[in-house]
Structure 1
Amino acid sequence: MNILMIDSQRVNYVDPGEYAPGSAHQPCRLEVTSRPSDEQLARADGIIAFHSVVIDAPLVARMHRCRALVKATIGLDDVDVEALSAKGILCSNIGSVGAEEVAEHAMALILFAQRKLLDYARHTRQGGWSWRAHTGKVKACADTVLGLIGYGATGRALARRAAALGYRICFYDPWVERCVEGIAQGGTLESLLETADVVSLHLPLNPDTGHLMNDARFSRMKHGATLINTARGGIVDTDALLRALQSGAVSMALLDVVQEEPAPPQALIEHERVLLTPQPRFTANALWSS
């Protein structure tokens, strides 16, 4: 059995070659590449593709023996599932991969914004040294409503962390009827946007969620709320977000993903109330060692 692992980031995996000789399992041959050749794709019985690899119809057409493909990510928005199905190739993702790490990153972004760390850092960089620079603008966790749009593995992991700090938590997820942990209150998307001081996105990207955060939704948000996106860039309409920042509807946006990756628009990069990170949530040692 030939297994092909595709990773465009050139992570240095150890090629085990053939393993389990003489066992009840069929020996496998593992190949690792960042740019699969026609020969590699043609002889692969199974394929493992990492998060930055796009599985489109032309790539699928080069698969002749493949019977199963695993995308080592939560989402399948960059996989042509129909093309795979047409060739009889089973497709799967890893539904909870990195959920804890993404939740930790989101929690760090929330606290960064809540404690006005960017403003205080700018204040001291300009020669100031006064905690009074933002007196009254820092809201206590217990007085803050955190709204989670999407309550899957990552949303729940963030809810547990935020609850420990005293946040009041609400969520919207059409697939989740109630919060079994008892730490978050479900409701409508409209009610969440109107009441949440911080809105954090934890959704897959699909036709229903693309540009979910648009002009209409930003106008429904509690004025001056903070937006956190560690999910998928395409969920947020960048132009609408810039307009919401300009109007003050959104006080700050902390984004680990943008729809224009890997080259975000300069208007986002240079905006004084936007913090961009290049998905460092996946650098946790525990995640890579697992």
Structure 2
Amino acid sequence: MNILIIDSPRVNYVDAGEYDVGATQQGYTLEVSSNPSDEQLAQADGIIAFHAVVVDAPFVAKMHRCRVLVKATIGLDDVDVDALSANGILCSNIGSVGAQEVAEHALALILLAQRKLLEYARHTREGGWSWRNHTSTVKACGDTVLGLVGYGATGRALAHRASVLGYQLCFYDPWIERCTQGFAQRVTLESLLKQADVISLHLPLTPDSQHLLNDASFAQVKRGVALVNTARGGIVDTEALLRALRSGTVSMALLDVVQEEPSAPKALIEHERVLMTPHAAFYSERSLAELKNNALQTMLALLRGDKVKTLVNPDCVAEEAKGYA
């Protein structure tokens, strides 16, 4: 069995020499490439694709032997699952690996916005020393309404941490009825936009969530709201966000993802009330190791014909894909 690992074309997830490439172990051989040839794609029995590897229909058409594709991410917005299914190729993501890290990254950004740390840091760099030098209102955690859009594994992990600090928590998620721990109140999206002091995004990018935050949504928010996005860039309309920042509707945007990444618009990068991190929220040494191990173990399990909870297209299983190994 040939397993092809396609590393991210932007930032390597796989370290040089990390895998014993080419050697047969447990019945499979590994290849690693960030720019695979058509021959490599054609000869692979299974493919692991990291972040920013786009698996579209033309890509799938080159996967002549492939029976399993594992996307080593949580989101599948850059994967044509229908094309995979039409070719009898199983598709899986890696579940909630890194959810705790994303929650912690989001909480750090939320606290940075709430405590006006960007403004204070800029003020002191310019030689100032006044705690009054900030825009909008500085609130304690207990007086701050934190609205979570999306309440899956990451949203719940953030709610757990934020509840300890005393935030007033509400969430919008059409698929989740309630917060079983009682941390957060379920509300409509319209209600969340109107009451939240900070909005944090934790939902996948789908046709329904594409540009969920646009001019119409920003027109509904509480003036001076801070926006945190550690989910997917395409959930936010960049031009609408810039207009909301210029008008003061959004006081601060803290973004780990943007729809144009890795080439973020200059207007965002240079905006004094925008802080950006390079799609790093998922990362810790532990989460990166878990991500890679999870992807490989998921691949091997599916090639053996085992059941995997993260399989997204179970109904497409072709007979030759069952117990392929």
TM-score (norm. length: structure 1): 0.94
Give a deviation string over 1:160-214, Cα, whole Å, max 9, x none. Answer: 1111111010000000011111101101001111111000011111110000001
Q: Matched residue of 1:163: which SS?
A: helix
Quick one: percent identity of the two aligned structures?
Answer: 72
1:19 aligned to 2:25? yes
Q: Is the 8 A contact 2:99 2:282 kept in 1?
A: no
1:115 pairs with 2:115: yes
Q: Distance in 2 between matches of 1:243 and 1:115?
A: 23
| Of 121-130 and 10-19, the range deviating more from structure 2 | 10-19
One-letter amino acid of the structure 1 residue matched with residue 178 of structure 2:
R
- Alignment partners' CA distance in 2, 1:119 and 1:134: 6
1:135 to partner: Cα distance = 9.8
The equivalent residue for 2:263 is 263
1:275 and 2:275 correspond: yes
Alpha-carbon deviation of 1:236? 0.4
User: Map of 1:104-183 to 2, 5 A cutoff?
Assistant: 104-134=104-134, 137-183=137-183
By how many angstroms is 1:289 displaced? 2.5
Which amino acid in structure 1 is aligned with residue 64 of structure 2? Answer: H
Q: Aligned-pair distance for 1:282?
A: 3.4
SS at match of 2:281: helix
State yes or no: 1:285 paired with 2:291.
no
Structure 1 runs (4+) greater than 6 angstroms displaced: none
Structure 2 unaligned regions, length at least 5: 291-325
- Are the equivalent residues in 1 in contact too, given 2:98–2:283 (CA < 8 A)? no
Alpha-carbon RMSD = 1.4
| SS across alignment from 1:151 | coil
Q: Does 1:202 align with 2:208?
A: no
Of stretches 274-283 and 212-221 in structure 1, the one that deviates more from structure 2 is 274-283
- 1:195 partner amino acid: Q
Q: Which amino acid aligns with 1:123?
A: H
Q: Which string of whole-angstrom CA distances, capped at 9 and with x for unpartnered residues, describes residues 49-106 of structure 1?
A: 1112111112111111111101011111001112111111111112202111111110
Alignment of 1:64-143 (within 5 A): 64-134=64-134, 137-143=137-143
Give per-residue Cα distances to partners, 1:23-62, cap 9 Å, x unaligned.
Answer: xxxx111111111112211111111111121111121111
Separation of aligned partners in 2, 1:266 and 1:30: 40
Aligned length in residues: 284
Stretches of structure 1 that go unaligned for 5 or more consecutive residues are 21-26
Q: CA deviation at 1:134?
A: 4.1
- Counterpart Cα distance in 1 of 2:136 and 2:193: 23
The CA distance in 2 between the partners of 1:136 and 1:239, in whole Å, is: 23
Aligned partner letter, 1:154? T
Deviation at 1:249, TM superposition (A): 1.2
Q: Which amino acid aligns with 2:153?
A: A
SS in 1 for 2:133: helix
Q: Report the secondary structure of 1:119's partner residue.
A: helix
For 1:202, give the aligned amino acid: H
State the alpha-carbon separation in 2 of the partners of residues 236 and 134 from structure 1: 26
Q: Which residue of 2 aligns with 1:234?
A: 234
**CA gap 1:135/1:60 in 2 versus in 1, 3 angstroms:** closer
Out of 132-141 and 41-50, give the one that drifted further. 132-141
Is the partner of 1:220 in helix, strand or coil? coil
Secondary structure, counterpart of 2:171 in structure 1: strand
Paired with 2:156 and 2:271, the residues of 1 have a C-alpha distance of: 30
Determine the C-alpha separation between the residues in 2 that align with 1:135 and 1:229: 21
| Contact 2:136–2:224, Cα closer than 8 Å, also in 1 | no
**In structure 2, distance between residues paired with 1:138 and 1:187:** 25
How much does 1:132 deviate? Answer: 3.7
Letter in 2 for 1:19: Q
Answer 1 or 2: higher relative contact order, Cα 8 Å, separation at least 6: 2
Partner of 1:193: 193
Q: CA deviation at 1:137?
A: 3.3
Q: Residues of 2 paired with 1:261 and 1:173: CA distance?
A: 26
